[in-house]
């Protein structure tokens, strides 16, 4: 009897071990529940967050002034939007839109609302027009005409300039909260004067009313003329500071970091008619700066 009882106990022990062994296997595989709590969080891969800035937008609208219209790049005192740094179709420029979208797509999904002579006060209206196209990227180059006035006293005050730029961004945001904005700095007007003043034809064109605050009496180097140019230059620097600061408050806005202002335009980059506005070559350089800023990994 003792042997039979002993055998039963042995069989039960073996069966118990087998059941426990199966349970142990099921605890780490099969139909067992997965890890929970902190372990589950570690085990589950986290989705990558969608970046705020899209480096390859699929449509572009441009706002601004004569530079974005290609003024004086193809003929005297005339717009030439086909060579615009922002949306032009010219192969000699390879505009920002063409670089981002390709030639065919750029022709269909880029629009130029810049106006020669426009100042910052005009930008909100241009933004409203651009917003009707629902672009993924809006380019801004404005401010030169706020400094290029008949006199230094007539230049747009910095506080007004800032408020007008803020209004333009609000106008865009009201219609397109997620549109991206590329903001180019105002060019170094004093450098453009120093380069262009060596050309007699250019100086004659300047007398027709191109940026009098900087270009009037182009050959004069007396104290009054020097002070006038320095005053304009300081105002341009203040405008660029305002553009940078306002843009920095908008997470979908990128300022060029002063790259256009810092670019050392030479004679090849200036119009052969007025020696002040960008030539076709100069427009291409502006397109390079814009593309580099828009496609950078970080703003």
Pairwise pLDDT comparison (29 vs 84), residue with the higher score: 84
Q: In this model, does residue 23 exceed pLDDT 50?
A: no
| Confidence (pLDDT) at 51 | 77
Q: In this model, does residue 137 exceed pLDDT 50?
A: yes
CATH number of 60-294: 3.40.50.1110
62-94 pLDDT, tens digit each: 999 999 999 999 999 999 999 999 999 999 999
CB 165 within 8 A of CB 241: no
The token duo for 175 is: 């219609």
| Confidence (pLDDT) at 2 | 45
Q: In this model, does residue 160 exceed pLDDT 60?
A: yes
| Confidence (pLDDT) at 5 | 47
* Band of residue 50 on the pLDDT scale cut at 50, 70, 90: low
Q: What is the mean pLDDT of residues 37-61?
A: 73
Secondary structure string (H, E, C) spanning the chain: CHHHHHHHHHHHHHHHHHHHHHHHHHCCCCCCCCCCCHHHHHHCCCCCCCCCCCCCCCCEEEEECCCCCCCCCCCCCCCCHHHCCCCCCCCCCCCHHHHHHCHHHHHHCEEECCCCCCCHHHHHHHHHHHHCCCCCEEEEECCHHHHCCCCHHHCCCHHHHHHHHHHHHHHHHHHCCCCEEEECCCCCHHHHHHHHCCCHHHHHHHCCCCCHHHHCCCCCCCHHHHHHHHHHHHHHHHHHHHHHHHHHCCCCEEECCCHHHHCCCCHHHECCCCCCCECHHHHHHHHHHHHHHHCCCCC
Q: In this model, does residue 1 exceed pLDDT 50?
A: no
Strand 60-64 versus strand 137-141 pairing type: parallel
218-253 pLDDT, tens digit each: 999 999 999 999 999 999 999 999 999 999 999 999
Q: In this model, does residue 299 exceed pLDDT 80?
A: no
CB 26 within 8 A of CB 32: yes
| Confidence (pLDDT) at 298 | 83
Rounded to 5°, the CA angle 127-131-132 comes to 125
Which sequence spans correspond to the domains of the chain?
A: 60-294
Q: What are phi and psi of 137, to 5 degrees?
A: -135, 135
Distance CA(227)–CA(211), nearest Å, equals 16
CB 200 within 8 A of CB 219: no
Q: What is the model's pTM?
A: 0.83
* Band of residue 48 on the pLDDT scale cut at 50, 70, 90: low
| Confidence (pLDDT) at 31 | 42
């Amino acid at each position: 009897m003792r042997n039979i009882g002993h055998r039963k106990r042995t069989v039960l022990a073996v069966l118990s071990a087998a059941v426990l062994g199966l349970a142990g296997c099921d605890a780490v595989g099969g139909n067992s529940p997965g890890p929970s709590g902190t372990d589950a969080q570690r085990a589950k891969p986290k989705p990558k967050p969608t970046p705020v800035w899209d480096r390859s937008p699929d449509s572009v609208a441009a706002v601004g002034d004569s530079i974005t219209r290609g003024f004086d790049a193809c003929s005297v005192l005339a717009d030439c939007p086909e060579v615009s740094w922002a949306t032009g179709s010219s192969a000699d420029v390879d505009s920002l839109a063409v670089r981002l979208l390709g030639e065919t797509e750029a022709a269909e999904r880029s629009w130029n609302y810049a106006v020669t002579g426009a100042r910052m006060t005009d930008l909100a209206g241009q933004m409203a027009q651009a917003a009707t196209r629902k672009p993924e990227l809006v380019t801004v180059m404005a401010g030169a005409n706020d400094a290029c006035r008949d006199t230094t006293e007539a230049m747009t005050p910095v506080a007004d300039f800032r408020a007008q730029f803020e209004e333009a961004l609000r106008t865009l945001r009201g219609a397109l909260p997620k549109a991206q904005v590329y903001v180019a700095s105002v060019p170094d007007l004093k450098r453009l004067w120093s380069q262009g003043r060596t050309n007699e034809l250019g100086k004659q064109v300047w007398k027709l009313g191109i940026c009098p605050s900087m270009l009037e009496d182009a050959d004069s180097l007396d104290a009054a003329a020097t002070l006038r140019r320095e005053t304009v230059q300081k105002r341009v620097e203040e405008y660029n500071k305002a553009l940078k600061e306002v843009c920095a408050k908008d997470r979908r806005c990128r300022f060029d970091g002063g790259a256009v202002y810092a670019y050392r335009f030479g004679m090849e980059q200036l119009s052969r008619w007025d020696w002040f506005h960008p030539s076709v070559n100069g427009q291409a350089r502006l397109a390079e700066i814009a593309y580099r800023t828009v496609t950078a990994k970080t703003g």
